[in-house]
A and B are shown apart, each in its own frame.
Chain A
């Protein structure tokens, strides 16, 4: 079974803090994704990566950056957290093409005070 793990289930940070969200997958998948999930908006893609050190912006990259130094790990960074970044963050991975299933982690509920 594919397993995608996220470093924290719940996180509380203060405005202006630098925040790191970590995601690890154990199936040697090429692609990794970061989404944020908000009620009534569904999932919106922040960034994705199709290879080590490769990244592409998604639909809402502003205020975020990512890092993929190893194939199994994909980090989302909030350089200076703001209250409007309070959300559920979901990481996913997939093997390769568009038809491949994306496997999701359990999510990190981030609250910025």
Chain B
């Protein structure tokens, strides 16, 4: 069965510091990988996605993520965090074999301290 693990429930970083949010998946197929962000009181917004090609993908708001097949990981990074990045971040995985469905991780809540 497909599953997605986000090991960190909460992360606190200082404004201006770098950020890495972890995502590990368990899939028997070639995965389609997504990172979404949910700001307080908002719906989810796509940050970036990967399904083929260069394993380092760039997204909106200065975020990037790297697909590492050998580690079954798709970690999200940002070199310098801004206070407005405080939100909940979700990793999601899909595969053609499972139709158009995505499986979401439990989410990581990011707090930014000034």
Give A contacts to B, CB under 8 Å.
4, 31, 35, 40-45, 48, 50, 56, 58-59, 90, 92, 94, 96-102, 104-107
Contacts and interface: CB of A to CB of B under 8 A. Distances in A.
Nearest to A50: B100
Interface stretch (B11-19, B37-45, B79-87): B37-45
Interface of B: 4, 6, 9, 32, 34, 36, 41-46, 49, 51, 90, 92, 94-96, 99-107
Nearest to B9: A40
A102 B92 CA distance: 11
Given A98-B96, A99-B32, A99-B51, A45 B41 contact: no
A98 B99 contact: yes
B3 to A, nearest CB: 11
A98 B95 contact: yes
Contacts of B51: 98-99
A97 B100 CA distance: 6
Nearest to A105: B43
30 contacts: A4-B43, A35-B104, A40-B106, A42-B4, A42-B104, A42-B105, A43-B90, A43-B92, A43-B104, A45-B102, A50-B99, A50-B100, A59-B103, A90-B43, A96-B100, A97-B100, A98-B32, A98-B51, A98-B96, A98-B102, A101-B34, A101-B46, A102-B44, A102-B46, A104-B43, A104-B44, A104-B45, A105-B43, A106-B42, A106-B43
B49 A101 contact: yes
Contact of B49 (A45, A96, A99): A99
A4 B43 CA distance: 10
